[in-house]
Amino acid sequence: MNKNQDIVKLTEQNVASTYGRFPIALVRGKGTKVWDAAGKQYTDFVSGIAVDNLGHCHPAVVSAIRKQAGQLLHVSNLYHIESQSLLAQELTRHSFADKVFFCNSGTEANEAAIKLARRYFFDKGEKGRREIITMKDSFHGRTMGSISASGQKKLHTGFAPLLPGFRYVAFNNIQAVQKALSSKTCAVLVEPIQGEGGVNLPDKTYLKELKKLCAKNGSLLIFDEVQTAFGRTGKLFAYENFGAKPDIMTLAKALGAGVAIGAMAATNKVMKSFVPGTHAATFGGNPLACSAALAAFKVYTKAGFLEKTAQTGDYFIARLRQLEKSFSIVKEVRGIGLLLAMELKQPAGTIVEDCMDQGYLVNCIKQNILRFIPPLIITKKEIDGLIEILAQSLKNLQPA
Ligand X SMILES: Cc1ncc(COP(=O)(O)O)c(C=O)c1O
Is 191 a binder of ligand X (CB under 6 A)? Answer: yes
- Packing angle between helix 287-300 and helix 59-69, nearest 10 degrees? 160
Provide Rg for the chain, Cα atoms.
21
Q: What would the x/- binding string for ligand X be over residues 343 to 372, using CB under 6 A?
A: ------------------------------
Q: Which is nearer to ligand X, 172 or 379 (CB)?
A: 172
Residue whose C-beta lies closest to ligand X: 106
DSSP string of 323-379, one letter each residue: HHHH-TTEEEEEEETTEEEEEESS--TTHHHHHHHTTEE-EEETTTEEEE---TT--
Q: What's the full length of the chain, in residues?
A: 400
Is there binding between residue 105 and ligand X (CB under 6 A)? yes
Catalytic residue list contains 253: yes
| Closest separation in Å from C-beta 253 to ligand X | 6
Positions in 237-276 near ligand X (CB under 6 A): 252
Instruction: Pick the piece of the chain touching ligand X (CB under 6 A) from 27-35, 99-107, 306-314, 375-383.
Output: 99-107
Catalytic residue (choose from 224, 237, 316, 372):
224
Strand partners, 167: 133
- Select 16 or 78, whichever has its Cβ closest to ligand X: 16
Q: Of 332, 337, 351, 342, which Cα lies nearest the Cα of 394?
A: 351
Q: How far is the CB of 195 from ligand X (least distance, A)?
A: 4
Using the minimum distance from each CB to ligand X, give the nearer residue, 109 or 394. 109
If the CB atoms of residues 107 and 267 are measured against ligand X, the closer one turns out to be 107
Residue 264 · residue 101 · CB < 8 Å = yes
189 part of the interface to ligand X, by CB under 6 A: no
CB of 134 vs ligand X, minimal distance in Å: 11
Instruction: Give the footprint of ligand X on residues 135-154 (CB under 6 A).
Output: 139-141
Rank residues 171 and 327 by Cβ distance to ligand X and give the closer one: 171
End-to-end CA distance of the chain: 39
Catalytic residue among 45, 96, 101, 139: 139
Stretch near ligand X under the rule CB under 6 A, chosen from 56-64, 76-84, 93-101, 222-230: 222-230
Nearer to ligand X, 109 or 390 (CB): 109
**Do residues 86 and 296 make contact, with C-beta atoms less than 8 angstroms apart?**
no
Distance CA 264, CA 88 (A): 10
Reading phi first (left if > 0) and then psi (alpha if -120 to 50, else beta), residue 57 is in left
Please give the full DSSP string across 1-37, using - where no structure is assigned. Answer: --HHHHHHHHHHHHS---S---S--EEEEEBTEEEET
Please, are residues 353 and 7 in contact by the beta-carbon 8 Å criterion? Answer: no
Amino acid at 94: H
Compute how many residues bind ligand X; rule: CB under 6 A: 15
Report, in Å, the least distance between residue 228 CB and ligand X: 7
Q: How far is the CB of 203 from ligand X (least distance, A)?
A: 19
Alpha-carbon torsion (206, 212, 217, 222), positive or negative: positive
- Residue 319 interacting with ligand X (CB under 6 A): no
In 196-290, the DSSP E strands lie at: 220-224, 248-251, 262-266
Site string for ligand X, 39-78 (x = CB under 6 A): ----------x-----------------------------
Q: Which of 211, 235, 245, 253 is catalytic?
A: 253
Q: How many CA atoms lie within 13 A of 121 on its CB side?
A: 20
Give me the active site residues, please: 139, 224, 253
Interacting residues with ligand X (CB under 6 A): 49, 105-107, 110, 139-141, 191, 195-196, 224, 226-227, 252
